[in-house]
Structure 1
Amino acid sequence: MDDTEYRELRENGFVQLPALATGDTLARLKSAAGRLEGLARDRTVSTGNFVLEAPGIGGWAAWQQGAEALTGVLRSADRIHEHVPEFDAVQRSLDLAGGPVARAVGGAGELVNAFLWAKPPVVGSAKPWHQDMAFAPPGFRTEGHGIMTIWIALEPATERNGCLEFIPGSHLLGLLPHTGDRERLPGEAPLARAVEPHVADEDLPRTAEPVAMPLEPGSAVMFDGLVLHRSAPNTTASEPRTAVSFVYKVTRPSWSRLEPAAACR
């Protein structure tokens, strides 16, 4: 990542990393994703680590409501580097923590989570506007730490099938209010109606227009934990969008702030 790309990340909150995982590395990620999907093949109920897609209401809401999901059709998976250690091996071989992450923030990151993001054709549900720092795990010192995520496309991510969208510069505005329901804990009763946590339209900054981030397989986008992002539903008939993301805890970047700006609309 050169100085121009670093400046783009600092100013916009995100930067594309073209052809980050190519050849054998991309094949390894795809193979690992296949093994992960195999672990979910017979699942009929969502859990914290495996969220199944559900037509109409989406995977997250179906999980929280205890509603019927599509057998084995993943919407997302959590802790994937623990379920399939090959994911961890690949991110280590690419030296993501000591390479692009370290160059971005001035020090190596620490892997704290990794995800599969599946958005199957026809039923692939949307992800609303949010900031990842709003979901920092317990014990995460937000006053001293930040998050840097590297999101790698395993299949073409397009505006048709739900590529990521960002609001440039929104990472400079602090942590914005999120509305919706928290994830229910194991043993808690299902919700009658679940609203996925998100930043409401009236709280979105009006400082810049959203920017779509189409990606070819193996290309990636790296983004700050405070930048607003979302993805639209996949309404295509035959264009799946599958990606993996690696989330790193970093020393809080010098440009970040936690308190919201007084006038960000």
Structure 2
Amino acid sequence: MVDMDSRGIQEHGFVRLPGLAAEETLAGLRRAVGRLEELARGRTVSDDDFIFEAAGVGGWTAWQQGEKPLPGVLRSANRIHVHVPGFEAAQRALRLAGGPVAAAVGAPGTLINSFLWAKPPVVGSAKPWHQDMAFAPPGFDTREHGIVTVWIALERAGAHNGCLEFLPGSHRLGLLPHAGDRERVPGQPPLRDAVEPHVADEHLPRAHAPVAVPLEAGSAVMFDGMVLHRSAPNTTAAAPRTAVSFVYRVPRPAWSREPAAAPR
């Protein structure tokens, strides 16, 4: 288990925040996830905001290839604080922007997005190596700003059910080439043999071995938008791995090299 002080994100690109969400806040986040699941229950097709899991190929790939997902089995959700106000209330109660984020980069962050990361038992698909800054939205000024994410486990996340893994120090290397397909926009035809964007093995730095970051429910990991990370599939029979993340725009950290446009 990795246990670092507040300098960890500067040196390694990530830092654990043990016991970040007390039981009351954790219960509120779980209620908000329940409301999100209610909103998704009647949907049968993945879209930009709700991606459903699919056995065998994974939710993202099934969505891009136009394959039918598993109804109601969420893999991820986007803009969750817009869909369910309880998420916005929780991140404010936790004082994430002016607390741990500000302590890491020297200035408060501005919330720009939030996600549900549901990795259900048996079918929970892997997420390949990637850097979040490779997916910065149009108009995001990467010369002036970076991003910091706070990823909160709502139940125990470990190697058994797909906790996050990081490559320490990779946030100092600049933006690496990402292979794979861009997400299709509404109206575009399905992609045959879709490949989720990722950093290929030949471009991965070899200086450090991957570090898994298991978390108890209510604990979190905060990480820089340039650090390489991934998660393995959840092949357990009955141990879901559910988390939410809040993404903050921050002044570009001094430790981060200015990224060029993401190559594909």
Give the shorter-chain TM-score range: over 0.9
Give me the CA root mean square deviation.
0.9
* C-alpha distance 187-235 of structure 1, shift in aligned 2 (>3 A): same
Structure 1 distance, partners of 2:126, 2:154, is 18
Residue 7 of structure 1 aligns with an amino acid whose one-letter code is R
Other-structure match for 1:263: none
- Partners of 2:32 and 2:6 in 1: CA distance: 30
* 1:242-257 map, 5 Å: 242-257=242-257
Q: Is the 8 A contact 2:7 2:104 kept in 1?
A: no
The residue aligned with 1:19 is: 19
CA contact (8 A) 2:97 2:108 kept: yes
Q: Work out whether residues 151 and 243 of structure 2, in 8 Å CA contact, stay in contact via their aligned partners in 1.
A: yes
Counterparts of 1:188 and 1:97 in 2: how far apart (Å)?
Answer: 37
After superposing on structure 2, the runs of 4+ consecutive aligned residues of structure 1 that deviate more than 4 Å are none
Amino acid across the alignment from 1:54: A
Residue 83 of structure 1 aligns with an amino acid whose one-letter code is H
Aligned to 2:226: 226
The residue type paired with residue 178 of structure 1 is: H
Per-residue deviation, 1:166? 0.2
Rounded Cα–Cα distance in structure 2 between residues aligned with 1:41 and 1:91:
25
Q: Specify the alignment match of 2:122 in structure 1.
A: 122
Q: Report what 2:143 is aligned to.
A: 143
Q: Could you report, residue by residue, the CA deviation over 1:84-114 in whole angstroms, capped at 9, with x for unpaired residues?
A: 0110011011110011000100001000000
Pick closer, same or farther for the CA change 1:259–1:250 going to 2, 3 Å: closer
Distance 2:259 2:186 in 1: 31
Unaligned runs of 5+ in 1: 261-265
Provide the residue aligned with 2:59 in structure 1: 59
User: How far is the alpha carbon of 1:8 from its aligned partner?
Assistant: 1.3
1:189-215 deviation per Cα after TM superposition (whole angstroms, max 9, x unaligned) = 111111000000000000100000000
**Identity %, equivalent residues:** 71
The offset of 1:9, in angstroms, is: 1.3
Equivalent position SS for 2:134: helix
Q: With structure 2 as the length reference, what TM-score do the two structures score?
A: 0.96
Alpha-carbon distance, 1:259 to partner = 4.8
Shift of 1:42: 2.2
| 1:102-113 alignment runs, 5 A limit | 102-113=102-113
CA distance in structure 2 between the partners assigned to 1:8 and 1:149 by the alignment: 14
Q: Counterpart of 1:155 in 2: which secondary structure?
A: coil
Q: Contact 2:125–2:234 (CA<8 Å) still a contact in 1?
A: yes
Q: Within 5 Å, which residues of 2 pair with 1:27-176?
A: 27-176=27-176
Q: CA deviation at 1:7?
A: 1.8
The residue type paired with residue 119 of structure 2 is K
Q: Is the 8 A contact 2:17 2:221 kept in 1?
A: yes
Name the aligned partner's letter for residue 193 of structure 1: D
CA distance in 2, matches of 1:212, 1:58: 22
Contact 2:143/2:259, CA 8 A, preserved across alignment? no
Alignment partners' CA distance in 2, 1:230 and 1:37: 24
* DSSP 3-state at the match of 2:218: coil
- Rounded Cα–Cα distance in structure 1 between residues aligned with 2:78 and 2:105: 25
Find the aligned partners of 2:197 and 2:258 in 1 and give their Cα distance.
Answer: 18
Task: Report the counterpart of residue 183 of structure 2 in structure 1.
Answer: 183
Indicate the SS of the match to 2:98: coil
Q: Does 2:229 align with 1:216? A: no
User: TM-score, normalising length from structure 1?
Assistant: 0.96
